Amino acid sequence: MTSDKDRQFPAGERQLFLDGDDVARVDGLRRVFHEPQKRGAVIRREAALGGNPEIRSAPVWDPEEQVWKLWTICITPEELHGIAGLSGYHESRDGLHWYQPILREAEYLGTRENNLVYIPMGDGCTAEILGAVYDQGDPDPSRRYKALSFTMAPQLAVLFATSPDGIRWTRVDIPPIASGDEPNFSLDKKDRLFIATVKVPGPFGRSHALIVSEDFASWSEPEMVFHADEEDQEQARQIIAERLADPTLQQPVFNHPEEHAVDVYNFAISRYESRYIGFASMFYHTGRAWNDRNHDGFHHVQMASSRDMRSWRRLGERAPFIGPSPLGSGAYDTMQILGPSCPVVREDQLWFYYSGIRHRWRPPKVSPERAAICLATMRRDGFVSLDADESEGSVTTAPFRWEGERLYLNAEADQGEIRCELISSEGQPLEGYEQGDSIPLVADGARQPVEWRDREFMPADSKCPVQLRIRLRKARLYSYWLE
C-alpha cells in the first residue's frame, strides 16, 4: 500500500475515491455512494441433493482450463448425521450459466452420481470448502488451489487445505486457528498475501479478527479489526422499526423489542486496486427464537475501506451496499443476505456473488426454494464517484510520483466535460499541462486516455512529484491511473 511519505502510484493501479487520503482538495463536487444492480439468482436449489445453496467464496478463474469454478454450501450438518460437511462444485464458461459435473467423489443419499467435494478430516469426517483461491504463484501444481474451512470438533476452529484442481483436497497439517463459524478468505495477488477473517466475540456480539499468511503455513495471531459500535445500535433500532412497518418486506417470525440490536455476521476482506475493501453482513436481530438457541432477524450488507486492514471506514454513511428485495419479486434475498467475498472483475464491470435467503426462521407458509446464489453487478471502480452539476467542480490530488506514461480516467462525461491539469510541487501549473491545454473528455467510458494539446504523455521526470487537478462539469468521476 502507498504511504503518505512516499505516495507513488504503480503503473496500472487505479486510484479511487473511497476515502480522502490521496486528495488535497475538493471544490463543488458531491461524493456519491453507489449500489450494484441486482441480476437475480444464478445457482438455485439442487433438488437431487436436498439442499439450498449458499456461498462464502467468490468464483475462481482457472486460466489453464478456461473455466470459472465455485464451491457452495449445500448440505447441512444435520443432514450428514455428524459428518462435518460437503460442498457442491460448479463450473461456468461465462459466470452466468453454471453446471454441476458428475464427479463421483462423495457418496450422498446412496449414490456417488453428484457434484460433491470435501476436505478429508480423518475418521470418516469431512469438511466443506468455505473459501477458495487460485494461487498461480505456487511452484507446486498440487497446491494450485487453496481453501479455508471450519470445524466444530474437537474445537471451533478454521482449517486449511490445498488441491491441484479444486476437486480433490488435502488438509494442510498446521494447528487449527480458533474461530466461530463464518470465516472468510481471499488472496492479495499483488503482495501475495493470504487474508482470512475469523469470528470472535466483541463488544456488541459477533465480531471479526484478521489473520494473514505469506506462505499459507504460518499464520498471524488473530487481531480483532471489525465490530459493531454504539452508532450501529442507534441505527439498528430505527432500521428494525422501519422494517417491521413495511409490508412489502419479509417479516421476522420473532419480535422482542427489548432485544433489538445488530452485530456483524460475516466480514470479508479483499484487495481492490490501491485499497482493501470489506463487505460486512450486518445482522439486525429482532428477538430470540422459541428454542432460545439463536435470534431471528435480517441482514444488510455494508461496505468499508482500509489502507492497512486494521482501521476501517464505512462507506455511504453505513447505507446498505446490498439490501433486501421486496416480497413478490421472485427474489431470494428477502431476509438473509450473506455478502460477497470479493468483487470479480469482468472487463469494465464488477460482479458480486452473494447468498440470498428467503427467511431465517420458517414462517407459516414456506417454499422449499429457500436460498440461492445471487449476482449483482456495477461499473468497474463504481463504488464511489465525485459528481458535478451545471456548475464546475474540481478535485485536486495530493502530490504523487508515478510509474507509466499516460493518464487515464474512468468517468461519465457524455452530458458535460472533464479537463485535467498538472501542478508542480511549487503549486504552479506545468507548462503544456494547463487547463487550457487539456482536450476535454466528453464520453462515458471506463478507460479514457487524457491528452493535452501538444502532449499525450505525462512529464518525462516521474520522480518529481506533481498534483493532478481534475475539473468536471455535468460529469461523474470514478477513478484515475497511469500506464
Q: Report the first-to-last Cα separation within the chain, whole angstroms.
A: 18
In order of their start, the domains of the chain are 8-32+392-482 (2.60.120), 37-381 (2.115.10.20)
pLDDT at residue number 391: 95
CB within 8 Å of 197: residues ≥ 6 apart: 183, 184, 208, 209, 210, 211, 225, 226, 267, 268, 269
Mean residue pLDDT of the chain comes to: 94
293's CB contacts (< 8 A; 6+ apart) are none
Distances (CA, A) of 138 to 36, 96, 129, 133, 281: 34, 29, 20, 12, 32
Asked if 417 contacts 394 with a C-beta cutoff of 8 angstroms, the reply is no
Question: 372: Cβ–Cβ under 8 A, 6 or more apart, which residues?
Answer: 41, 42, 43, 44, 45, 52, 53, 332, 355, 356
Q: Return the C-alpha cell found at 231.
A: 452508532
Predicted pLDDT of residue 462? 72
Check residue 3 and give its pLDDT.
Answer: 46
Distances (CA, A) of 444 to 74, 384, 482: 41, 16, 19
CA 91/CA 59 separation, integer angstroms: 9
The pLDDT tens digits along the chain (483 residues) read: 444 446 899 999 999 999 999 999 999 999 999 999 999 999 998 766 657 899 999 999 999 999 999 999 986 555 555 555 899 999 999 999 999 999 999 988 888 999 999 999 888 889 999 999 999 999 999 999 999 999 887 789 999 999 999 999 999 999 989 998 999 999 999 999 999 999 999 999 999 999 999 999 999 999 999 999 999 999 999 999 999 999 999 999 999 999 999 999 999 999 999 999 999 999 999 999 877 778 999 999 999 999 999 999 999 999 999 999 999 999 999 999 999 999 999 999 999 999 999 988 877 677 778 899 999 999 999 999 999 999 999 999 999 999 999 999 999 999 999 999 999 988 899 999 999 999 999 999 999 999 999 999 999 887 789 999 999 999 999 999 999
pTM: 0.95
For residue 31, count other CB atoms closer than 10 A to its CB.
15
Name which of 472, 463, 473, 465 is nearest 422 in CA terms. Answer: 465
Residues 119-159: tens digit of each pLDDT: 998 888 899 999 999 999 999 999 999 999 998 877 899 99
Q: What is the pLDDT of residue 4?
A: 46
pLDDT tens digits for range 224-271: 999 999 999 999 999 999 999 999 999 999 999 999 999 999 999 999
